[in-house]
Amino acid sequence: MLIIYPPVAKPSEPPAGLAKLAGALNYHHIRHQILDANLEALYHRINSPGDSSDRWTRRATAHLASNLATLLNGETFTNLDCYKRTVMDLNRVVQTARPQFDGTVTLVNYIDHRFSPVQSADLILAAENPEQNPFFEYFSSRLDGLLQERQPSLIGFSLNYLSQALCGFAMAGYIRKKAPGLKIILGGGLVTSWLSAPGWRNPFSGLIDELISGPGEYFLLSTQGLKPIEERNYRPDYKVFSDLRYLSPGFILPYSASSGCYWNRCAFCPEFAEGNRYRPIPPHKVIGDLEALIPETNPVLVHLLDNALSPALLRQLCRHPIPAPWYGFTRFIEELTDLDFCLALKDSGCRMLKLGLESGDQTVLDSMGKGINLDKASVALQNLKKAGVATYVYVLFGTPAEDHFRAGQTLDFIALHHRAIGFLNLAIFNLPVYSPDSRNMETEDFYEGDLSLYRQFRHPLGWQRKKVRQFLDRELKRHPAIAPILRLNPPFFTSNHAPFFC
């Protein structure tokens, strides 16, 4: 079988889902091949320079080799301005590369103005016309070689992001034309979200043979006549990725210690709306996996991918530090109000924690079921600062309980704690289309598409998206204590590269 990770997603680290599939298949000695087409397609585009009529493109093309070298060896990470110039120049090469089309390709995204990834009809059109995809020259040649050499009986695509959907379907359509008898399956986070829709009906019959929800290893094993225990956790296998040149200063080891979210009580959360069950790997096994994987991959950084690292896992990491620096996402848990615990996290190798604050107004937090106490969040931020653990704080504006005043409360909270906040992620609230909390709200299509995951809504307090954007642009982003934090955010790669500046 052949498992493919299509363009376009952040090319800073290997796709953890495919490593998990490889681990399960290797454990049972099942012949397969993993293809990170996302990374390969990016390099193909980088090496296909287009028109250099403008000065910026000429400079970016001329410095392409040196920019890649300094990004990969870490030299550019010693200076943020140098890093920004390097990444912006690399992105310029990707944007202007051949072929040009009606849309945009960046280092981390793909937008096509002809086709929408939330329209099933457009995805089918992308499959029927693969030659119109900007990566066609790459994937047609690559797939021809693999089909001839490997002769797989099954091809799977892992779609986690909307930015991968059109390319994934274009590649699937090409395979369907070249080898109509091959079984084609789709899985990944995006597909799981589609299948979670009430009354889901598959619009892709005839093109896609199977759509898989949740962890894909169990389905793949079942195609080989195996009956795996679904609670078994297979150790990921990164051997196939170890020699690939991801756009980071060394190998980043991504690892999921759970799926779903242990809190799972936040209003409007997609995990809650989709009914995803929390499935943790026992903390002692997580440590065992990492202690085995780190010597194999020699990572410069471990990325723990959980929606929220559990207190039990964080305590285990404090007791049994892993031999590599790490970072991940967690909640404002009670343990972070203990300075000794934060110091133990630092000693365990924790370089940065991503924290979902969402709001600096207690009423808004309570209405969303966040379980966050702002006084304790304040102590946690100060403790992490004292311990030397950087923070990447996520804030969400435009939720149903927020208005201009309460948004101002969030601004004040950030400004008050600006010395303890390393990086900021500002987002505007999107209403999950199948959230039970949306039933009493007046809604309309966010995107025109039968696969849309979000809906527009009439804000009960009149705090519409336009007003939220104006608040962010005119007030929050210009605040003298907050603007310097926002300037620290690495362009394109954001939190994936932020730990290298801590």
What secondary structure does DSSP assign to 143-183, as a single string? HHHHHHHH--SEEEEE--SHHHHHHHHHHHHHHHHH-TTSE
**Together in a domain, 34 and 157:** yes
For the CA atoms of 8, 9, 13, 15, what is the dihedral angle to 10 degrees? -90
Q: Are 218 and 262 members of one domain?
A: no
For residue 173, tell me if it sits in a domain: yes
- Asked whether the bond before 99 is cis by omega within 30 degrees of 0, the reply is yes
Tell me, yes or no, whether 158 and 262 share the same domain. no
Query: What single-letter amino acid sits at 32?
Result: H
Give the per-residue pLDDT at 264.
85
- CB-based contact 291:240 (threshold 8 Å): no
This prediction has a pTM of 0.96
Residue-wise DSSP of 20-38:
HHHHHHHHTT---EEE-HH
Same domain membership, residue 217 and residue 255: no
Contacts of 66 (CB under 8 A, 6+ apart): none
Query: How high is the mean pLDDT in each 10-residue block of the chain (502 residues)?
Result: 98 97 95 97 94 90 96 96 98 95 97 96 98 98 95 96 98 97 96 90 95 92 81 89 96 96 84 77 97 97 97 98 97 98 98 98 95 98 98 97 98 98 96 74 72 88 96 98 98 98 96
pLDDT of residue 442: 76
Q: Are residues 267 and 339 in the same domain?
A: yes
Pairing between strand 154-158 and 252-255?
Answer: unpaired
63 sits in the region (left: phi over 0; alpha: psi -120 to 50; else beta) called: alpha
Is 280 within a domain? Answer: yes
Residue 242 lies in a domain: no
CATH of residue 452's domain is 3.20.20.70
* pLDDT at residue 454, rounded to an integer: 86
Q: Is residue 69 part of a domain?
A: no
Please check whether residues 340 and 198 belong to one and the same domain. no
Cα–Cα dist 41/137, whole Å: 9
Residue 472 is given by DSSP the state: I
For residues 347 and 439, state if they share a domain: yes
Whether residue 201 sits in one domain with residue 277: no
Identify the pLDDT of residue 270. 73
Do residue 110 and residue 197 come from a single domain? yes
Note the pLDDT of residue 51. 80
Per DSSP, 500 falls in state: G
Domain-located, residue 184: yes
Range of the domain at 188: 2-48+97-223
Q: Is 371 domain-assigned?
A: yes
In a domain, 74, yes or no: no
Q: What integer pLDDT is reported at residue 255 of this predicted model? A: 98
Same domain, 105 and 199: yes
Instruction: Assess if residue 267 is contained within a domain.
Output: yes
Beta-carbon contacts of residue 36 (< 8 Å; ≥ 6 apart): 5, 14, 15, 18, 241, 244
Residues 213 and 274 in one domain: no
Sign of the alpha-carbon dihedral angle for 463, 466, 468, 470: negative
Please tell me the total count of domains within the chain.
2
Whether residue 384 sits in one domain with residue 478: yes
**Domain end among 206, 223, 240:** 223
